[in-house]
Amino acid sequence: MSLLRYSLPLLVAVAVRPASAEEASPTRLVELAVYPPHVELSGADAWQHVIAVAKQADGLTIDVTDLASWRVVDGAEPSEAIGLNDGRLVAEGEGHARVVAEFAGLRAEADALARGGDSAEPVSFRHDVIPILTSAGCNSGGCHGASRGKDGFRLSLFGFDPASDHHNLTREQVNRRLNLAVPEESLLLLKAVGGVTHTGGKLIDEGSWGYRRLRKWIADGAASDLGDAPTVTAVSLYPPAAAIGAGGQTQRFVAVAEYSDGRSRDVTHLAVFQSSNESSAAIDSSGRVTSDRRGEAFVTARFDTHTVGSQVLVLPTDEAFEPREEPPANYIDELVDAKLRTLRVHPSGNATDGEFLRRATIDIAGRLPTVEELEAFLADSEEDRRTVAIDRLLEDPGFDHLWGQKWSDLLLVRTEPNRVEYKPMFLYSQWLTEQIAARRPLDEMVRDLLSASGTTFDTPATNFYQIEPDPKKIAENVAQSLLGIRLQCAQCHNHPFDRWTMDDYYAFTAFFTQITRKRTDDYREWMVYNRGTGEAKHPVDGRNVKPRFLGGEEPDTKRRDRRGVLAEWVASPQNPYFATSVANRVWAHFFGVGVVEPVDDVRVSNPPSNPALYERLGEKFVEYDYDLRRLVRDIATSNAYQRSCEPNDSNAGDRRNFAHAYTRRVPAEVLLDCLSQATEAPEKLPNLPLGARATELADGRAGNYFLTTFGRSKRETVCACEAKDDPTLSQALHLMNGATVRSKIAGGKLIERLLDEGRTPEEVLEDLCLRSLARRPTDEERGELLAIVGESPRPVEELRDVFWALLNSREFLFNH
């Protein structure tokens, strides 16, 4: 079910290696590979870069292209059809050949084919001119690709509208921008090489391949081949993965495009390369990666509408590493630990029982463990006590409220003047919580949501289409919330960092253009249904765009509600995005960071930190028939989740590979509920009875000052960033000086009741620590806090101060 073809193969753990390829002991090399594995040369001027990559027994890879011995043979004889010149295969005739590389006793081969005879390929406007302008940055957003162009010249952003680009190049400033009689006098060339004043400076060298191709295109009449040029069907980046030493090691990458007419072509010189982590692995315009400090990066190559990538690990070469064997609890640990061994990282040990129970209770049930639950758990000596606790928490009503609230955030449940009144909004929120409580498979819930028709009272899911009536926004929201894909960029131009084009955007929007609405007799109630007419028009040429699944086929929607057709695809195992996207959001809830982060920005240039784990979580979710609780149980019972927050020397800098637990601020709603629970002072929230949980708030527009200050989602967009969990100065000031904490301590009268029960100040102190921090005070804390209490026979105010200090501590405010 994967479209993530760039997944990193799991490499063996790395040991000490030489600092350079020249120093590598041949006996340590175990594998040699030649890339690309298959080469096609079309036309007399075609070429293809080839590289050789050796792999050591310790998993590190070395670029040995310049060190290897190369031959191009036809059988036992040198090939007459294909030659090798300066690292490039070139066509010298027609025929098949084998490209052979040998190094350190290892041998690797690749297939090669030359076809096209003596004729050179003509210069293509679509496949030569536009890519040259793109690679030079001419049509970027900061240059002529800006919405209004620059210095009187406008190109479409990254070439998304080639017809307009050809017109602007050939019809504006005739005989100046392009001089067909004297091509080198064309402004296009003069500005590109810095021959005349150019705001963008010099972009290409005179006499370079790009200059020669542009000049030839102009000299040949600046023709357009947009009507019959083949399309780019795929782009590949080689090698598919690399693990290189830190401190200046290099690895060349090669980009190859495949076309609809069956040809392939080296586009390394035309691709736009980027690295996700320049401080570890920087990549230059030629596709050469140079390592620096330890880390990992994802390097991408963008050509035409395609973006592809490879994962690069940069590992130290001067440290010995001995992996520690820890039995995995389940498949999650197998995959997480395999990546950690690759990175030469030791995971932290397990959290204490108290830390675990507090963490799991907050994450699963949205509350603190009670003193009784904690004491019973700590007294339990059974080996499976943690699993038993997790199973119990999965049955807690708090689980339903917590995930009902999360889906309400995701689906923008809020009142909306003139469209969604309080009653339908409340019914919508209740419907979502009831789906979780009834253990409804999430694929069925989503199908009902997307295909919903009826009144907003009788069919609460129809409110999804009332909150946002614009078909384009609906399409964007569905893609981002349910598939993790941000389509917004493709509304006005092809996505610069992903595969999505304007055609994709409007084809997806077309599923929602036939929705209509009308009021019923009750002004608060609307009828939502399919009217059967309405199309999405492409803004460039005005044509009607037929509905098409993202990255998929064009379904038959005749005489059917298009939303129902889409709903079947979105929530099906055939959709490669839904299961992995939802599973990734669940994972992020428990770890504070997704395997793909941000969780709603799944794209080639933002890959999973652990591709195998990302795919496996989605596969398991499908295998479990989209049962949320079963997936949560897998995550919570894993060693990865139960690790301590305390880092060790090897994993102190880890934020993406789950080598230790990450300290997370408790979400706003849960934090308010925890304060109410710890102090036994119920909260009165808008439109809810006294004592209701903040996670039960239906309306995204409702709340109070505390929830606003601590970052509750306003549900104005589907972006995961709506709910804020970063600590702020306002939060600290409110906790210390605001009314919430002090009023709850005073209003709950917990301390008075405990003293009335005959408990000593020391026993009250222990109770306060257990209920707020899920642990007893240390001896040092006990002495300091009892000193505050003093000798008063009934130290209510003193114990209130102690309680206030506990509730203001980072240990209470953060899940750890």
Q: pLDDT for 483-505, tens place per residue? A: 999 999 888 888 877 788 899 99
List phi, psi (to 5°) of 304. 60, -130
- Express each pLDDT in 224-239 by its tens digit: 988 888 999 999 999 9
pLDDT > 50? residue 6: no
List phi, psi (to 5°) of 186. -65, 135
- The Cα 252–Cα 566 span in angstroms is 42
- Residues 355 and 774: beta-carbon distance below 8 Å: yes
C-beta atoms surrounding 461 within 10 Å: 24
- SS3 label, residue 495: coil
Task: Tell how far CA 740 is from the center of its chain.
Answer: 37
DSSP 8-state symbol, 20: S
- Residues 3 and 574: beta-carbon distance below 8 Å: no
DSSP 8-state symbol, 129: I
Q: In 248-369, where does DSSP find H-type helix?
A: 331-342, 353-365
What is the amino acid identity at position 131?
A: P
Q: What is the dihedral of CA 458, 462, 464, 470, to 10 degrees?
A: -140
- The Cα 742–Cα 808 span in angstroms is 11
CA distances from residue 60 to 69, 320, 393, 736 in whole angstroms, order as listed: 21, 14, 44, 52
Which residue shows structure tokens 């007294």?
379
Task: Tell how far CA 379 is from the center of its chain.
Answer: 42
Q: In the β-sheet with 47-49, what is the strand arrangement from edge to edge?
A: 47-49, 88-91, 82-85
At 14, is the pLDDT very low, low, confident or very high (cuts 50, 70, 90)? Answer: very low
- The Cα 635–Cα 627 span in angstroms is 13
- Regarding beta strands 88-91 and 82-85, do their DSSP bridges make them parallel or antiparallel, or are they unpaired? antiparallel
- The Cα 83–Cα 437 span in angstroms is 68
Within 331-435, strands assigned E span none
DSSP 8-state symbol, 290: E
Q: In 578-627, where does DSSP find H-type helix?
A: 578-591, 611-623
Token pair, residue 571, equals: 């929530």
- Residues 578 and 443: beta-carbon distance below 8 Å: yes
Can you give the length of the chain in residues?
816
What is the amino acid identity at position 328?
A: P
Task: State what percent of residues in the chain have pLDDT above 70.
Answer: 96
pLDDT > 60? residue 807: yes
Burial 757-795 (b: 16+ CB within 10 A, else e): eeeebeebbbbbbbbbbbbbbeeebeeebbeebeeeeeb
Which helix (DSSP H) or strand (DSSP E) does residue 299 occupy? strand 295-303
- The Cα 267–Cα 257 span in angstroms is 6
At 326, is the pLDDT very low, low, confident or very high (cuts 50, 70, 90)? Answer: confident
Measured CA angle at 564 (ends 563, 568), to 5 deg: 115
- The Cα 676–Cα 290 span in angstroms is 54
Residue 16 pLDDT: 29
Per-residue pLDDT, averaged over 689-710, amounts to 93
The distance between the two most distant Cα atoms of the chain, rounded to a whole number of Å, is 104
| Those residues with Cβ within 8 angstroms of residue 769's Cβ, 6 or more apart along the chain or in another chain | 775, 776, 777, 781, 806
At 10, is the pLDDT very low, low, confident or very high (cuts 50, 70, 90)? Answer: very low
| Those residues with Cβ within 8 angstroms of residue 729's Cβ, 6 or more apart along the chain or in another chain | none
Task: State what percent of residues in the chain have pLDDT above 90.
Answer: 70
Beta bridge partners, 259, equal 232
Residue 19 pLDDT: 37
- The Cα 532–Cα 538 span in angstroms is 19
List phi, psi (to 5°) of 69. -95, 125
Which helix (DSSP H) or strand (DSSP E) does residue 101 occupy? strand 95-103
- SS3 label, residue 315: strand
| Those residues with Cβ within 8 angstroms of residue 366's Cβ, 6 or more apart along the chain or in another chain | 398, 399, 401, 402, 669, 670, 673, 693, 695
- The Cα 47–Cα 245 span in angstroms is 30
List phi, psi (to 5°) of 530. -95, 125
- Residues 49 and 268: beta-carbon distance below 8 Å: yes
Q: Which of 18-22, 321-325, 425-429 has the lowest mean pLDDT?
A: 18-22
pLDDT > 60? residue 587: yes
- Residues 670 and 678: beta-carbon distance below 8 Å: no
Average pLDDT score, the chain: 90
- Regarding beta strands 241-245 and 306-315, do their DSSP bridges make them parallel or antiparallel, or are they unpaired? parallel
Residue 193 pLDDT: 87
- Residues 490 and 499: beta-carbon distance below 8 Å: no
At 77, is the pLDDT very low, low, confident or very high (cuts 50, 70, 90)? Answer: confident
Within 684-774, strands assigned E span none
- The Cα 214–Cα 550 span in angstroms is 35
- The Cα 773–Cα 368 span in angstroms is 9
Which residue shows structure tokens 């990066």?
297
- Residues 583 and 628: beta-carbon distance below 8 Å: no
pLDDT > 50? residue 59: yes
Residue 117 pLDDT: 67
pLDDT > 90? residue 623: yes
pLDDT > 90? residue 418: no
